[in-house]
Structure 1
Amino acid sequence: MKTLPLNVRGIPAGRIVQGCMGLGGGWDREPVTAEQIREGHMAVEAALSIGINMFDLADIYTRGKAELVFGTVLKERPELRDKLIIQSKCGIKLQEPGESSNTFDLSREHILSSVDGILSRLGTPYLDILLLHRPDPFMDPEEVGEALRLLKESGKVRHFGVSNMSGSQIRLLQAYSDEPLIINQLEMNLEKTFWLDSMVSVNRPAWREHGMPDGTIEHCRLEKIQLQAWGPLAQGKYTGRPLDGQPEHVIRTAAMVRSLAEDKGTTPEAVVLAWLMSHPAAIQPVIGTVNPQRIKACEGADKLELTRKEWYDLYISARGTRLP
């Protein structure tokens, strides 16, 4: 497996990140319960047991309750803080009653106030990494750069990155910030292969619509920006979820994953993650499950080797059509 760009930058990150979007129950305004805190402890312990030391949150996850649960875990186990790499995100404003949609806000004021809220809920004086959650078409990149500068100078955030952004959007932000953007978190998995499809459709009619602007992956690799994959397990589609009504190529790919897992003496989860991590871009999966059993099923994915043929067989099967 390739060395992570984060490690090159002196951040001792493991190959897999534990996503925490599932902590805190529903996306409602009910208070955090003792059972949800217990579930938080179990998820964190399961992640630690397989060597995960990096945890991913966002200010909007379960309307702030995910951070509250994680913060309670840290409060009850204060010895963990210095052993963990904690990243959170800001920039999405959730739809409120009477509103028709979520909106995005990367204004200076919103970034600064969001970080104060994140730190309060987590009960920690600093974040290891802050990601800008979505591109805001109304943003002023100079304002963003100023906000990042103030957060770094105050000691509230040590490193910065983005999520769901193209290479050109990253270049625009970087032009107005002295703080390097070191992560780009994108949806990448066996089901959502548009990050690969954008490459293989160069100089050919696009075989289907894909949502990855050309050059995004290449820009991140050239600039040593860590690629993180959200949704890497594709919500269990290839690892045991019922497939009633799914297309034939999905059913076929799930069977292929199971067969590889059996042949290699591992789990389907490990195979699906290894498919991502085998790519030379040193992709870092952010697993979204907080179920302890499913977390532990990911163990060993960073050591599992796929041949070039196995990798291509999975890709071609998952995309549902042959390559040019």
Structure 2
Amino acid sequence: MRTMKLGCTHLEVPVVGIGCMRINRLSQAEAERYIQTALELGANFFDHADIYGGGECESRFAEAIHMNDDVRERVILQSKCGIRKGMYDFSKEHILEAVDGSLRRLHTDYLDVLLLHRPDALVEPEEVAEAFEILQTTGKVRYFGVSNHKPMQIELLKKFVHQPIVANQLQLSITNATLIAQGMNLNMGNEWAVDRDESVLDYCRIHDITIQPWSPFLYGFFEGVFLDNPKFPELNRKLDEIAARYGVSNVTIAIAWLLRHPAKMQPIIGTMNVDRLRASCQAADIQLTRQEWYEIYLAAGYQLP
């Protein structure tokens, strides 16, 4: 699979990452087949979080991939921390404990990337900086990033954190594309003119922070998949039309739409379906034209001012 640099690092990652939030729903044999298929496709970047399945997803992954030193060198592991029951927690103590738990469950002694999962209203960035410094100097984490963070929240962290923020995982799909739409609706009186994200897309581009779109097939907040959904007839007609043109599936085109954006995003797919996994990875070989990209955008219901 085609690769890219993650943020400002020299770490080469596949342009499509594999989200493991639902891997605990698979049997051992199904999980082994899924992971082996991903590796055969060159999709060796696996995204985790300590809360996925209450930690079970990290354990299931390690068992399914038969983690050992040789296997570990062939994969790139990212995990997230900071969400606890009824609260968010970026305290130094919790970050360190969370990473140790992920390492134990993943059967490894280091993470390639650690993300802070959701902004903690009580964050003390000095504590985050201390935790990151310990994790880096002890070799437990190589690179650091965030998830669901606005620019000023990242700036607050950067005031104290010495390590570069290399990734920001954000909800983004064809039907959840306000991050993109807001940039084209300045001074307009429509629903997309309201900037709720502080131009985070442009901010990440300026600061070499890789955007990792999560739930790239969903609409709303986990409301459902837009592909082949009768709620989106025009969008699906357009996706099918372009998919037929390239001889691929609508799944491929949905991911190719994200990859076409010059921000050089790395979509994190959460499907546990092997066929959809293959179709998603095939998007790395598709380059949509500017016209096709805009046709999909408009078919999703957005407007050009």
Provide TM-score, normalisation by structure 1. Answer: 0.88
For 1:9, the equivalent position in structure 2 comes to 9
For 2:127, the equivalent position in structure 1 comes to 143
Contact 2:146 2:168 in 1 (8 A): yes
C-alpha distance in 2, partners of 1:90/1:20?
Answer: 14
SS of the residue corresponding to residue 106 of structure 1 reads: coil
- Unaligned regions of 5+ residues in structure 1, if any? 26-34, 95-101
1:237 deviates by 3.2
Aligned partner letter, 1:86: L
Counterpart among 170, 192, 202 of residue 176 in structure 2: 192
1:207 deviates by 2.1
SS of the residue corresponding to residue 199 of structure 1 reads: helix
Aligned partner letter, 2:87: T
Greater alpha carbon shift after TM alignment, 155-164 vs 301-310: 301-310
Counterpart among 44, 49, 59 of residue 50 in structure 2: 59
For 1:99, the equivalent position in structure 2 comes to none
C-alpha distance in 2, partners of 1:18/1:211?
Answer: 29
Aligned partner letter, 1:202: L
SS of the residue corresponding to residue 79 of structure 2 reads: strand
Q: How does 1:46-85 map to 2 (within 5 A)?
A: 46-75=37-66, 79-85=70-76
For 2:87, the equivalent position in structure 1 comes to 103
C-alpha distance in 2, partners of 1:322/1:287?
Answer: 27
For 1:299, the equivalent position in structure 2 comes to 281
For 1:207, the equivalent position in structure 2 comes to 191
For 2:32, the equivalent position in structure 1 comes to 41
Q: How does 1:99-248 map to 2 (within 5 A)?
A: 102-208=86-192, 212-234=196-218, 237-240=225-228, 242-243=229-230, 246=231
Contact 1:168 1:216 in 2 (8 A): no
C-alpha distance in 1, partners of 2:192/2:270?
Answer: 27
Contact 2:5 2:12 in 1 (8 A): no
Contact 2:113 2:141 in 1 (8 A): yes
C-alpha distance in 1, partners of 2:195/2:63?
Answer: 37
C-alpha distance in 2, partners of 1:321/1:271?
Answer: 18
1:8 deviates by 5.6
C-alpha distance in 2, partners of 1:308/1:273?
Answer: 15
Contact 1:199 1:214 in 2 (8 A): no
Aligned partner letter, 1:82: E
1:38 deviates by 2.0
SS of the residue corresponding to residue 13 of structure 2 reads: coil
C-alpha distance in 2, partners of 1:211/1:89?
Answer: 26
For 1:322, the equivalent position in structure 2 comes to 303
1:182 deviates by 0.4
1:23 aligned onto 2:5: no
Q: Percent identity?
A: 37
- Unaligned regions of 5+ residues in structure 2, if any? none
Aligned partner letter, 2:237: A
Cα gap change, 1:9/1:124 in structure 2, threshold over 3 Å: closer, same or farther?
A: same
Greater alpha carbon shift after TM alignment, 46-55 vs 121-130: 46-55
SS of the residue corresponding to residue 12 of structure 2 reads: coil
Cα deviation 1:221-271 (Å, max 9, x = unaligned): 11111111101122773433x43xx2xxx2110111011111111111110
Runs of 4+ deviating beyond 6 Å? none
Aligned partner letter, 2:129: G
Aligned partner letter, 2:14: G
For 2:260, the equivalent position in structure 1 comes to 278
Aligned partner letter, 1:110: H
Cα gap change, 1:211/1:89 in structure 2, threshold over 3 Å: closer, same or farther?
A: farther
1:148 deviates by 0.4
Q: How does 1:250-265 map to 2 (within 5 A)?
A: 250-265=232-247
Provide TM-score, normalisation by structure 2. Answer: 0.93
Cα deviation 1:156-192 (Å, max 9, x = unaligned): 1111000000111111101111111100000111110
1:321 deviates by 4.2
1:66 deviates by 0.5
For 1:309, the equivalent position in structure 2 comes to 291
